[in-house]
Structure 1
Amino acid sequence: MPKTPHRAAALGGTADDIEAAFYESLQRGDVEALMACWSDEDEVFCVHPGGPRLVGPVAIRAAFEQMFGNGAIHATPAHVRKVESLASAVHNVLERIEVLTPDGPRHAYVLATNVYHKTAEGWRMVAHHASPGTAREPEDASEVPQTLH
């Protein structure tokens, strides 16, 4: 697959900056901005809630183009947990998804893991894996006191 140099120059900064740009592009329904967050590597992958594993930028783009055909995705990240090193970062986020229904807006909550690598072009997403959603915000087990019996 040919590389697209214009994407490499589009973003800079940290893994946090790429994550912010990713969620902003979802909220705008902007596939070009969204794909600028991804690495050009053939082995990048994405799993949407209940969906198959999409491998490579072409498959990932096609899935987001189809999703954006129904409008932007109003996903807001919260409760981020991070594991970071010099060249990689793993962020586990709670995505609050707003869904418009005939009865008004409703919310769903999805746990997602975003993986970033520091490449020659800067930080880029290499994986996004989202769980099936729930209607209620899940508790953060790390903040709930644990009792052993």
Structure 2
Amino acid sequence: MSGYRLTTVETVRERGSWAFTAREGDADREVFLVPCADEPDGEATDPDRPVRAWVNRCTHEDQRLHREGVGAVTRGGSVVCPKHGSAFDACEGSCDNGEAAGTTLRSVDVEVRDGAVFLTDDDLSYLREGLSDEDDGGDEGPSSSSHLTF
């Protein structure tokens, strides 16, 4: 068993999401962790995989789903795109509504051992906690065309 220790399941649950930057080939990739829970009490639907990791980009448009200072917006077991309101299942990554309907977020392999989350994806090398230094339209977030408010 190997992998880079990222954080704890408890931290992901407390914050609602947790992000890091990794290297894939010659490019940096932003990744975020979210609890995989459908129950109101936050209990994981699959106790062996209480969190999931996703590349931090909406499948419809090159838009961050997790932002510094805000995290990922989640509702009812879904991660919501702040620009268009498409909702991605936090456990499966699939979307069945909005502009991104019929698409699935790109997953990143992680493993949970003794309450800690490890990066086990062979294609990625951990660089740092938090998002990359790239500008994503400023601190105010995306201009939204969604009918949802957060």
TM above 0.5: no
- Normalized against structure 2, the TM-score is what? 0.29
Q: Which has the higher helix share?
A: 1
- Normalized against structure 1, the TM-score is what? 0.29
Work out which of the two has the higher radius of gyration on C-alpha atoms and give 1 or 2.
1
